[in-house]
Each structure stands twice: as C-alpha cells, then as structure tokens.
Structure 1
Amino acid sequence: KAGAGIGVLELLSATNDAPASFLLSQLGYIQIMVGWVGAPKGAPVSDNAGYANPAQFTTSEIGVSGGGVTSKLSEAAIMATVPTLAQPEISVINGQAVTSSLAVADYFTKRHDDVLKKIRALDCSPEFTARNFAVSDYTDASGRKLPCYNITRDGFAFLAMGFTGKRAAQFKEAYVNAFNQMEKQLSTPSVLSDAAHNASVLYSYISSIHQVWLQQLYPMLEKAESPLAVSLYDRINDAAALASLINMTLNRSEVRGRK
C-alpha cells in the first residue's frame, strides 16, 4: 500500500492547529464530508521537528475574532468533495485547506511515485497547476528528503477524476448524484416567498453543519484541546436553534407537513 507508515502525528501546537474538511457548496446544495486524523507515533517525521504530518508542518492558526468566525475557520472547514465518504487527510497551510500527494496515494491505495507521475502528466493549464498543486517535500523513515505535492480541493477533484478503482468510482458517482440533486432542486418551482424560501434554505444549511459539528468536528476539536471547541460550541448550537425557529415561523405549513 502506498505511503505505508505515513500518517498524521501529534501536532506541535494542538491548540492552534485544527484538522479540516473539504466542503462543497454550489447552487444551493450542500453535503459535508469530514476527514478524520490519526496515526501511530512511529510514522515518518516531516522537516519541522516534532510530531507533525508532512502536509501539516506549516499549519495555520484558526481563530475567532469580533464575535464571528474568521475566513481561516471557513477555509479550515472546507476541502470538500460531495460524497460523505472517507477522504484523504487534510491540513490548513497558509489559511488554505489542502491534502498531500502522500495522503492521496494512501487513500486510493496507489504507489506515491505513480501519483506523482499522474500529477506531472495532468493535461491542465499552467495557471491551474500553479494554483492547485504546490511542490513540497517530506522526509521518509530512512531520512531521505523526497518530493511531494500539496493539493487544493479543486486540484484533488481534477486529479481524482483520472483515477480508476473502487474508491475512485465512488468519488465520481457521488459527484454525478450531487449534480443530479442540484438539477432537481433548480427545476422545482418555488412557491414560497423570498423570506420564507431563504429561511428554509438557511435552516437546511445550518442543520447539516450542526449535525457534523456535534458528531465529528466538536469531538475532534475537544480531543485536540482546541479553544475553538469552547468558543464555537454555544454559537453553533444557538445558530441552529435560531434557524429552526425562523423556519418554523415563516414556513408553518411546510414544518407541519414533515411531522
């Protein structure tokens, strides 16, 4: 299996570094996928001394300012592909959620060398390559410094579309289903007023985010002893409650129909 023994290790500053997920939000349709982090302490160490994944050695702080969530938090909650499947491990580097070619190789059970060749042979513009594939390096178990890539959400999607195998097929099928769902929603005539429609959409979005927060993000941040676990807990719960109240007020018939 490619990338054997390479995983996510204990972070240098757990309170300032938070793993992330990629979130795709398009045309009023959202599904959230969260990547989990975990690996034995015996995995290879990156250039930054201490326990850190090779793709995490420049992880940025995610914080809260002015009573709201900063753009870095948004980026940290965002490498998303549509499927609610497992995904390659993700880090936040310079405020942007990325994965690595090592993680992609491990996820798709491919040799890392083959993934590197695939990236270098991609038939995309130089501008797209520069924006979405950043050359980096890592140190393997024998102490050798070897090349790798940090890959953005768009780069990951472009790369994965060229893969074959069971996981690649699941990834592509989920994208097809997502676009079909978008088309279905766009073709359904809206009978609600603008305010009621917006309340319904907001409630749908907040409910999805709230569910992932309670089941995955909050336990992960709490385990990492991140201050975000405390500072965001009430805000996210209150936002979900408020969105539900507004939706029930403006869409009483719709809410009754669900019961």
Structure 2
Amino acid sequence: MNQLEKTLTSLEVAEMVDREHKEVLRDIRNILSQIGESKIALSYFIESTYQNSQNKHLPCYNLTKKGCELYSTRMTGEKGTQFAVAYIERFNKMENHIKQNEINTSNLSPELQMFNGLFQSLAKQELATKQLETKVDGIRDVVALNTTDWRKDARQLISKIAQSRGGFEAYKEVNNEIYKEVERRGGYQLSVRLTNKRRRLADEGVSKSKRDKLSKVDVIADDKRITEIYVAVVKEFAIKNGVTIKEAN
C-alpha cells in the first residue's frame, strides 16, 4: 500500500485545526528540528509541494497517521480532542476505501463476477443517492446561516471555497470577491469605512496594534444591513461552489 495514499496534507490539517497554513508549517518544522530530518522523520512528515490558484508550487507536508498523532500533542483540551477525532475518522475512511479497491475478483467464476458487477453498480447508485441527499441537507445548512452567529460559519465556508479553488492561497482572492460583491449590492466602500473606524478608535486612545488587527469583517459587523448582505453573498458563493457548512466543520 502506497504510503502517500495514507497521508493528510498540511493544508488539510490547517483547515481541520482552524489555523493558517503557514502556522502549521512552522509547527512541523519546529518538530523536525527537534527529532532531526532522518528516516524516522519521514515516517511522520513527508516534504511535498502543492499548486495554488496562481499555478505556483508552494511547500507543504504530507502527514502520516503517526505524524498527525505527533502533531496533535501540540494541542490540548477540546481543540486537541476534536483534531484527534477528525484525523482518526479520515484515516479509517481512507484505509477502508483502499481495502475495497484491493479486492481481487479475477479468480471468481463468470457467474460470481457478473453478480459482483451488479452489486458494485447498485452500491454506486446508492452512494450517489446518499451524496445527493447530503448535498441537499448541506444547502439547507447554508441557507440556515444567520446573522446572529455568522462569523465562524462564514470563515469556514470561505476557507472551503478557497480549498476547492486550489488551496489556502486562494482564501484572500475569495474574500476580495465577496467584499466586492457586498460593495456592489450595497453601494458601500468597505476600505473607506475601515479607515474611518481606525481613525475614530485612534481618537479614542485605542492602541495601534489593536487598530491594525481590524478587518473589513469588523466594519461589516458594525452595520446590520451590511451584515445581512454579506451573509447572503457568502451563502451564494458557497452554494455555487458546492460547499456546505458540514463540509467546512
């Protein structure tokens, strides 16, 4: 069994732990500096690259199951538990899928091979039906996204849209497209509002470091109408790209 068939990329790990990819890369490199980049290290982390939306090849790592176990030790409490459950489930699914594909039917009689073919066809039809049901449920989830607790779900959906476009590097691109659509529909200038908000907070004595951390999402949160438009746009982008909240979680 190919080792790479049983790995998760550092991009997937970043999404699962809700961190930036560069932070996950930094963590992995720190671990490697401690254990040394030897043959033992290769059984945990495999250096690789991925292609972003600009067709650039950027560094990443493929994590084996042992690599995920080692990485999970850097997280504690609920966050660590959630990541452990997520990667265990992913690896179990991958292993089951590989085992199913490894079944050799060449030694079966023609009659059994025919029945096996019929069975596989029915199984595929059932799987397609389940996937359609899941997609419909997912769209319902996206539509249910409201303006009460919208930041986390919106961020996760945008991250998933970016992944569908080629990876983490597309996150900024997706964000900008959403902001432009919000500005078009509402006639707003989010960058101007952000500048004004920072100036107002400066007059109130808020530190520069806190002001610099503000984003257009903070401006959106200040106005209920803009928030409603933003949530609607994120929903539309998610449905258009076939992304659901369940997939993003």
TM-score by length of structure 2 reads 0.31
Q: Which has the higher helix share?
A: 2
TM-score by length of structure 1 reads 0.31
Q: Which has more radius of gyration?
A: 2
